[in-house]
Structure 1
C-alpha cells in the first residue's frame, strides 16, 4: 500500500543462519489503532506478531521466524512471499547505497527516482537474491531538521540552552520527519516487493542522520540539539533498517554495549562484516573503543570475506585535495566532506590501522570491500598480486550522478596513486569494459557465487551491466 496510508511491509531482516535454517525478522507497519498483521506461516508452524514500537502515529510489528533450507518462503495474510533459503552452493547478493538526495527527495517522481530499483526487482525475478546489502544513506534525512525553531538553521546555528520541553518537542518533530522518509522508501513501488522477499543487512552513513554527522564541529554534534538528532536517528535506524530496538542490540551487533553498531554475519563459506563509521565518529577519529575492539577480535571463518565500508577504504590521495581546499577560503565549506574520508589528514593513522586488519584477514581468505557514498561507480585494488584486496564501489541506486566532467577530473587525480602501507599500493581501476576510472551513472552491484567462485557485475543506468569480474585469485 502507499506510504501515505501508513502501511508498509513485510520488510525482511537477516538475523543469521545455522543448521536449523535461515533466521529472519519481518516488520510490518500499520496506523495506530489499525488491526495488527495476522500470523506468519512457515513449515514449522504459525508465528504471531509482536508490537515492536509505536512512533509518529504508526505501530511497527515484528514476526521472528526461521525458514529451513529449501523452504519456498513464508505466507502472510494470504500471500506467499518466496525467499531464497539455500545459502550453500550457488547464491547471489545485491549491494546498493545512496538511496535518495539531499534536497527535495520526497517530491521526486517515483518512477524516475526508483528506476534502478525496478531493474533490481526484475533482476531478482530472473535469478533470486539471497541477501540485499545496503551500504549507507538508505534515507536522506537532511531536510528532517527543517520546520522546527531549534533546527531550522542546523548546523549553522545551535541554541545553547534549549528547554527540556523544547527538546522533547524537537524529538517528536524529528521522529515524524524520519518516519515519513522511511515510509516513502519502504513502501515505494518497485522496492516493497524486494524488501518482502530479500532479507536486508544495512550499515548507516551520514545522511541516515544528517549530512556530515561526525565531521561537523563538535560544538554542534555534542550539543543538546545534536544529541537529540542523533538519538532519534539511531532509534529510527534500528527500527526500520534492522527491525530492532535497543533491547536487541547485544544480540545483533559486535559491540554488546551498543557504542558501535558494526555487525557480522556468517553464511556457508562467507563472512560478512560492516564496521559502523558513524556512531563513535568525531572530527579526529572514525571509530572509538567499541568499534576497534570488535574489529580486533574479528576472526573470519569463511572462504571469502566481504567487508561493507560505508566510506570507501581504498581511495585516491584526497589529503592533497584537503590541503589545497583548506588554503582557499571560499572552498572551506567542503572541509566536512573531506573529513568524512578515510584518507583525511585527521584519520590517516586509523586508515592504516584498518588496512592492516584487512591484510590480517587476507592471510586466510580473499577479502572484497563493498562501498558506496561517492555517487559514482568504480573499483580499486590494493597490494601485490599474492595478497590482492578488491574494493567494489556501487553508489547511487537513486541519487542522480554528478557531471561527467567531475568523474573525469577525479579519475585523473586518482592516477597519482596512493600507498599508505609500504608494499601495498592502492590503484583505482575502471569497471570491466570501461575506459575511465569512475562511471557517472546511477548503479547497483550484484555478487554471484558459482561453483564456489565469486564474481561481480555493476549495473549502470545507461551503459547497462558490465562484464563479470572474478573476485577469487587462482
Structure 2
C-alpha cells in the first residue's frame, strides 16, 4: 500500500442483527507501524484492534452497533458517515462478479468501476440499507502467478513439496490475496458505498480460483491446492467478513467455520447466505454441514420475506444438452468445470432438487415468501417457478458489477436454451423470463440489482450500464 494514498476504509460489514440493533465491524487498513484513531460511534469512541499483519500493512477492526429501525451515523478522521437503517421502507443493493479473470487490476479505474460510481450516486439519491455481495468479490486467478510451485496451477503442480516450500508458497499467496482485496476496496465509488452501507458477502470460485470445487480432486486435495484454499479462506474471513478463525460473529452457523453459511433476520426480513464453496466437490454443491444448516433454517418461522443468496443461479436452462455436446466435441471439454459449477449440471441433479424443495419449505407457511438472488453468469436475467403451494419463487440474477459482458450472441444462445424449459420438480416448470423493459431473457450489459420494500410490498429493479434503470418488478 502506498503510504501517500492514506488508509483504506472504513469498510462496514454486518456482524449480526439482534435485539433491535445492527452489530457492525468496520475494517481499516493502515501502513505498517501506524495506528488508526478511534471511531466516534453511537456507543462512544471505539479504538480499532489489529486483526492481521502483512509485510507493508496492518488490518484493524472496530466493532460497534447502531439501532436497526432508524438512521444513524458514525465519524472517523473528521468525516461523518450516515447509515440508512432497516426501516419499513428500505432498499437493498445486490452486486456480483467484481472483476475479471485476466488483467483486472490493469484496467483504467474509470472503465472498470463505472457501475460502482453509478451505485454510489444511486445511494446518495435514495440510501441503501444493506449491500449484498453475491460472489467473486475479487478475481484471484492470478495470485498463483510468480511462484514456482503454483505458476502453472492447476495444470502442473509438484507431487511432494516440502513443508518449507509450502510455507513459502503460503506467504506468497497471502500477500497476493491481500493486494487483490485492497486494490478493489480502494476504488472510489466502491469505497464510498462500503463506508456507508453495511455489507454481507458470500464467496464464489474466483475468490479462491477459477472453478474451485469443480476441478479434479487430484488438484484441489493436493498440498498446493489446500494451501491455496486455506489462504483464500483466511483472506475471505478477513476482508469479506471482518473476522478471523476463532472469532466468527453470531450470524455464522458454525463457530469453527468448517462451512461459512450465515443468516441474519430483522423485522419482516431474513437473509440466508449458504456456503457453496467450502464443501463443494465435483458431485456435491454443499456438504453435510451446509445441508443440515439450511434445512434447519427452512423449518424456522420467518414471517415476511426470506432472501436466499445463491452465487450460482438456482433457476436456469437445461444444461444437460450442453454437457452432452461437450462429450461429443473434445474442443468443448475445456468448459467442463464451468458447467459442473452450475446447479443444473447432471452431476448435481439430486442437490438441485433438494435445494428447490428446501425453498418450498421456506415459503410453505402463510405469510412467508422466498426470493433467490444470484450472480456468476456475467449476464442479467430473472426466473420463476411455481412452488407446490402455488406461490411463485422469483430468482433475480445480477452479474456483473465490474466484469465486462460477454457477446450478445451468447446471451441469445442461452435464451434459446431457456426456451426449452426445465422441470426439476415434476409439474413445476422453471421459466426464464425477460426483465421488465428488456426484449430478451438475458441482458449482456454490466449491471447491479436493487430490492426495495414499501411496507409489505416488495419490488426489484436492475440498473444497466447502457439501458439504465429497469421498470419495477413486483415480487
How does the TM-score come out when normalised to structure 2?
0.96
**Cα separation, 2, equivalents of 1:402 and 1:120:** 21
Indicate the RMSD between aligned Cα atoms, in angstroms: 1.5
Whether contact under 8 Å (1:414, 1:428) holds in the other structure is yes
Q: Following the alignment from structure 2 to structure 1, what is the Cα–Cα distance between the partners of residues 65 and 204?
A: 29
Aligned equivalent of 2:220? 221
Q: CA deviation at 1:164?
A: 0.9
Distance 2:72 2:333 in 1: 55
| Unpaired runs of at least 5, structure 2 | none
Q: Which moved more, 1:227-236 or 1:58-67?
A: 58-67
Aligned to 1:32: 32
Match of 1:11 in 2: 11
- Structure 1 partner of 2:21: 21
Does residue 99 in structure 1 map to residue 98 in structure 2? yes
**Which residue in the other structure is 1:42 paired with?**
41
Q: Secondary structure at the match of 2:200?
A: strand
Query: 1:371 matched to which residue of 2?
Result: 374
**Cα displacement (A) at 1:331:** 1.0
1:356 corresponds in structure 2 to: 357
Structure 2 contact 448–462 (Cα < 8 Å) conserved? yes
| Cα pair 1:26 1:63 within 8 Å, conserved | yes
Asked if the contact 1:3/1:187 (under 8 Å) is kept, the reply is: no
Q: Does 1:140 align with 2:139?
A: yes
CA distance, structure 2, for counterparts of residue 314 and residue 128 of structure 1: 30
TM-score by length of 1: 0.96
Q: Return the alpha-carbon distance in structure 2 between the equivalents of residues 254 and 310 of structure 1.
A: 18
State the distance in 2 between where 1:465 and 1:70 align. Answer: 27
**Hey, what's the Cα distance between the residues in 2 that align with 1:215 and 1:388?**
31
Separation in 1 of the partners of 2:249 and 2:196? 26
The separation in 1 between residues aligned to 2:47 and 2:124, in whole angstroms, is 29
**C-alpha separation in 2, matches of 1:4 and 1:397:** 28
2:472 paired residue number: 468
SS in 1 for 2:189: coil
Q: Which residue of 2 aligns with 1:51?
A: 50
Tell me if structure 2 keeps the 8 A contact 1:97–1:395: yes
Aligned to 2:287: 288
Three-state SS of the structure 1 residue aligned to 2:376 is coil
For 2:146, what is the secondary structure of its paired residue? coil
Which residue in 2 is equivalent to 1:60?
A: 59
2:356 match: secondary structure: helix
For the residues of structure 1 that align with 2:172 and 2:24, how far apart are their CA atoms?
Answer: 31
Task: Provide the C-alpha distance between the structure 1 equivalents of 2:164 and 2:438, rounded to a whole number of angstroms.
Answer: 56
1:386 shift after superposition: 2.5
Query: Counterparts of 1:315 and 1:127 in 2: how far apart (Å)?
Result: 32
Cα deviation, residue 263, structure 1: 0.8
Is 1:454–1:470's contact at 8 Å kept on the other side of the alignment? Answer: yes
Distance across 2 between alignment mates of 1:23 and 1:201: 12
Match of 1:334? 335
Is 1:253 the counterpart of 2:237? The answer is: no
Q: Distance in 1 between matches of 2:55 and 2:450?
A: 35
C-alpha distance after superposition, 1:56-114 (max 9, x if no partner) = 431111110011243531011211111112x1310110000000000000100001000
- Within 2, Cα distance between the matches of 1:19 and 1:256? 20
- The equivalent of 1:301 in structure 2 is 302
Aligned to 1:415: 419
Distance in 2 of aligned mates of 1:44 and 1:356: 43
Partner of 1:448: 452
Give the corresponding residue for 2:233: 234
Structure 2: how far apart are the matches of 1:44 and 1:156?
A: 52
> Superposed, which structure 2 residues align to 1:148-187 within 5 Å?
148-187=147-186
Q: Is the 8 A contact 2:362 2:370 kept in 1?
A: yes
The DSSP-based 3-state class of the residue aligned with 1:284 is coil
Structure 1: segments with no counterpart, 5+ residues: none
Q: CA deviation at 1:146?
A: 0.5
Distance 2:162 2:251 in 1: 35
C-alpha contact 1:32 1:59 (8 A) present in aligned 2? yes
Equivalents in 2 of 1:147, 1:100: separation in Å?
A: 20
* 1:434 maps onto 2:431 in alignment: no
Match of 1:80 in 2: 80
> 1:20 and 1:48 mapped to 2: Cα distance?
24
Deviations 1:220-248 (A, max 9, x none): 00000000000000000000001010112
Checking the alignment, whether the CA contact within 8 Å between 1:88 and 1:269 is kept in structure 2 is no
Residue 119 of structure 2 corresponds to 120
